[in-house]
Amino acid sequence: MEKILEKYYRDYKIIDNLLKDRLNERVNLLNVLKNKGIDEFYFSLNKTQQEMYRKIHNDNDVIKYAKNEEIIKSLEIRKKNLLEELGYSKIFPLKGEERLDIYVSDGIDTYNVINNKSTKDLDDEMKSFIKEVVKNVFGLNENYTVEDIPLIKVLIEKLRKRNVPIDDVEDILSNEVSKIHYVEQSRNYQNEPIDINLLDEEIDKLVEMLNLNNRSCKNLYIEETLVAHYQYLLISGASITSLYEKLEDLKREDHLCALVKAYYNLTDIEFRHNNDCYDFKINTTLDFITSNPKVNQKILDMKIGGKNV
């Protein structure tokens, strides 16, 4: 497979170098026509008129320019065909298995957002080549950054839950990500103090009062109580990023999971419809959604781990 990919690259370089030479020749020939004072008149003619001009005047420089343009067009077609052939082939390194493919770049590497494939393990020349294939065949989405990848994947999962047609997903994603970034920048957060130890003590007291001896019931009660607590903080205006960073520093995985579950619930339309214990009249999902890659990656990791997020 690597040898076939390398052959594509060699063929591409041959065509690309020939094309560059011909484009440089175009500049030289244009200067010749300009110096002869015929460039403006010649290029004001349509294709049929230009052909008649060449037959009548038999100007070698004009003929050279026309032939060079034909070669450029032929090379561009060959280049386009080669890139498309590789892009849609089974050996393309970033090939996806779904109808939806979204590509982003960090300036060096190119990533397929949907299947997590990237050019990280390729050498610099091949990285550049694969990026060229993506740009010309599929399109490189410049509205997204690599840090948006976890957010995009979370949004895609939510759109799938809502059975949104695959053909509509990309446009909806673009709109949603733009809105999230805009709202996030203009949002005013409340700095809510967190005393983790005190919260744990209060929950322990409640567990003792309820006489929850069954370990599973006890753990479930603690988890749901923590989730409810963080839902309250988020609804009150606390920053999910700030809370996440504090809990991460404290190395409290139980609280981190509860926070992320609380956050996911508040940004999930289905949860909001089914829970009338929260007043969502003044809060929309955009009031909570974050583009923070750590938070969104945590959601993805918790799903993979089988947790009920």
Residue 170 one-letter amino acid: E
Are 56 and 155 found together in one domain? no
pLDDT of 229: 85
Residue 23 in domain? yes
Task: Bin 250: left if φ > 0, else alpha if -120 < ψ < 50, else beta.
Answer: alpha
Q: Could you tell me the end-to-end alpha-carbon distance of the chain, in angstroms, rounded to an integer?
A: 39
- The dihedral through the CA atoms of 271, 275, 276, 282 has a sign that is negative
Residue 233 in domain? yes
Residue 79 has pLDDT above 50, yes or no: yes
Q: How many CB atoms lie within 10 A of CB 220?
A: 12
Q: Which of 32, 57, 87 is the last residue of a domain?
A: 87
Residue 309 has pLDDT above 90, yes or no: no
More confident residue, 146 or 183: 146
Q: What is the pTM of this model?
A: 0.77
Are 128 and 217 found together in one domain? no
Residue 56 in domain? yes
Q: Which of 131, 158, 186 is the last residue of a domain?
A: 186
**Average pLDDT of the chain to the nearest whole number:** 86
pLDDT in tens, 30-69: 999 999 999 999 999 999 999 999 999 989 999 999 999 9
Confidence of residue 224 (pLDDT cuts 50, 70, 90): confident
pLDDT of 222: 82
Residue 97 in domain? no
Are 282 and 227 found together in one domain? yes
- Give the separation between CA 190 and CA 273, rounded to whole angstroms: 26
Residue 156 in domain? yes
Are 82 and 140 found together in one domain? no
Residue 6 in domain? yes
pLDDT of 307: 42
Q: Which of 87, 115, 142 is the last residue of a domain?
A: 87
Are 119 and 48 found together in one domain? no
pLDDT of 50: 93
pLDDT in tens, 133-166: 999 999 998 889 999 999 999 998 888 888 888 8
Task: Residue 267: give the domain boundaries.
Answer: 196-304
Are 69 and 29 found together in one domain? yes
Residue 276 in domain? yes
Domains contained in the chain, number: 3
pLDDT of 305: 38
Region of poorest pLDDT, from 4-18, 78-92, 191-205: 191-205
Residue in 72, 79, 64, 78 with CA at minimum distance from that of residue 23? 72
Are 51 and 150 found together in one domain? no
Are 250 and 232 found together in one domain? yes
Residue 273 has pLDDT above 80, yes or no: no
Whether the CB-CB separation of 29 and 42 falls below 8 Å is answered with no
Are 111 and 165 found together in one domain? yes
Residue 27 in domain? yes
Are 179 and 210 found together in one domain? no
pLDDT in tens, 166-182: 888 888 998 889 888 88
Are 77 and 120 found together in one domain? no
Residues 92-110, mean pLDDT to the nearest whole number: 88
Q: For a pLDDT cut of 90, what percent of the chain falls above it?
A: 48
Whether the CB-CB separation of 146 and 111 falls below 8 Å is answered with yes
Are 229 and 283 found together in one domain? yes
- Give the separation between CA 1 and CA 24, rounded to whole angstroms: 35
Residue 74 one-letter amino acid: S
Q: For a pLDDT cut of 70, what percent of the chain falls above it?
A: 86
